[in-house]
Amino acid sequence: MKTRLDKSGNSMEFETDLSKQQAVPFEVVIFFLRKNLIKILQTEEYSFTLFLPLLALELEDKGLPRSMSMIRMVAELKEKINVDTPLGQMHARKILIFPQSGILRALLPREKTHFEFTFSVDAPHHLLEFEVAGTRHMLTQLVLKE
């Protein structure tokens, strides 16, 4: 995977072989969750390794190993709900993603470590809403071009 990060006017690029690490880059975590939604729904405590590229660069700048930016995450099933969407009412499931490590959860603020996603249960498993740091993002309009 090649990653380019733009921060404070500086551009940084690096490449990581994720096939060896078996990690999910932060940039594609939503696609990963959609692809694995059936497994997540059928597993009590589904877990995966999340790769945080920005953290990797910050760690390298401090002389620390990039591997510290690979964080084991848990996908915890939350309530089943019905959601009114632009495509009609959909059966959905809320999924909370957070670090498996109790130490990380204790050290870092919840708004930086816990992410809640709401996916439609039926294929193609649309992401209907997500919540990060107290801000809820919702799908309110969808126009599909033919």
Predicted confidence at residue 14, as pLDDT, reads 66
How many Å apart are CA 5 and CA 124, to the nearest integer? 30
58: in domain: no
Give how far Cα 59 sits from Cα of 8, 20, 54, 89, 107, Å. Answer: 17, 20, 9, 45, 17
Strand partners, 130: 117, 137
Residue 100's SS3 state is coil
Residue 1 is assigned to a structural domain of this protein: no
Please tell me the predicted confidence (pLDDT) of residue 20: 64
What integer best gives the mean pLDDT of the chain?
Answer: 83
Q: Is residue 11 part of a domain?
A: no
Residue 18 lies in a domain: no
Q: What span, in angstroms and rounded, lies between the C-alpha atoms of 12 and 16?
A: 13
**Domain assignment of residue 103, yes or no:** yes
Contact 18, 32 (CB under 8 A): no
In a domain, residue 2? The reply is no
When pLDDT is averaged across residues 33-61 and rounded to a whole number, the result is 85
pLDDT tens readout for residues 92-127: 999 999 999 988 888 888 887 888 999 999 888 888
Phi then psi for residue 38, to 5 deg, are -60, -45
Position 105 in a domain: yes
How many domains would you assign to the chain? 1
pLDDT (0 to 100) of residue 142 = 67
Q: Could you list the residue range(s) of the whole structural domain that residue 36 is in?
A: 28-48+72-138
- What is the predicted pLDDT for the residue at 18? 60
Q: Is 22 a member of any domain?
A: no
User: Which position has the higher pLDDT, 94 or 136?
Assistant: 94
User: Can you tell me the distance from the alpha carbon of 67 to that of 22, in angstroms, rounded to the nearest whole number?
Assistant: 12
Q: How far apart are alpha carbons 4 and 34 in whole angstroms?
A: 24
Give the span between the Cα atoms of 11 and 113, in whole angstroms: 25
